[in-house]
């Protein structure tokens, strides 16, 4: 399978599974996930797997535990933060992430999560999300087209 590494692919599978846990994707969440899908050099096989993942709720922990690269684990936490907007309240945000992704409720997971609090990628996303609000919530899994 060409495309991205197994570790990074499992990180993306965990991110997409995380995004679907509440059965809603805001317009901003859809925009964020589409932009990463477009920018990440997934193979056709990887895209097919992601598309299948959207048809059925997947286990985040199953994918997270397959992430072997520390940077990929950190990136998962950054993206979970971006998908869990809490009006800038880091404590509330972290509680929601841990509620959705119990695989992070370990000493190592909490350390990684806390290390992403000030990640530069998040500032722009938070500003965009704040401007857009939560307008346009959609039911999942069929709203985000994984094959286009």
Q: What is the three-state SS of 34-48?
A: HHHHHHCCCCHHHHH
- Location of structure tokens 């990929």: 72
β partners of residue 25: 138
Q: How far apart (Å, rounded) are the C-alpha atoms in residues 83 and 140?
A: 15
Q: Which two tokens stand for residue 123?
A: 């500032």
Confidence of residue 4 (pLDDT cuts 50, 70, 90): very high
Average pLDDT taken over every residue of the chain: 74
The tokens describing 131, both together, are 């401007």
Residue 100 pLDDT: 67
pLDDT given for residue 147 in this prediction: 35
Q: Using alpha carbons, list the distances in angstroms from residue 115 to 30, 53, 71, 90, 125.
A: 25, 28, 12, 12, 18
Whether the CB-CB separation of 72 and 32 falls below 8 Å is answered with no
DSSP structural state of residue 119: -
pLDDT per residue as tens digits for the range 50-105: 988 888 888 888 999 999 999 999 888 888 877 776 445 556 665 667 666 766 77
């Amino acid at each position: 399978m060409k495309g991205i590494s197994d570790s990074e692919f499992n990180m993306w599978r965990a991110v997409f599974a995380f995004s679907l846990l509440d059965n809603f994707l805001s317009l901003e969440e859809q925009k964020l996930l589409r932009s990463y899908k477009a920018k990440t050099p997934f193979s056709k096989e990887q895209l097919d797997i992601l598309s299948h993942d959207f048809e059925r709720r997947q286990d985040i922990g199953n994918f997270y535990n397959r992430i072997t690269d520390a940077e990929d684990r950190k990136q998962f936490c950054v993206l979970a933060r971006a998908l869990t907007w809490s009006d800038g309240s880091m404590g509330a945000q972290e509680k929601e992430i841990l509620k959705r992704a119990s695989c992070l409720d370990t000493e190592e997971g909490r350390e990684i999560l806390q290390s992403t609090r000030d990640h530069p990628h998040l500032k722009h996303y938070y500003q965009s999300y704040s401007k857009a609000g939560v307008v346009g919530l959609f039911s999942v899994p069929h709203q985000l087209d994984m094959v286009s």
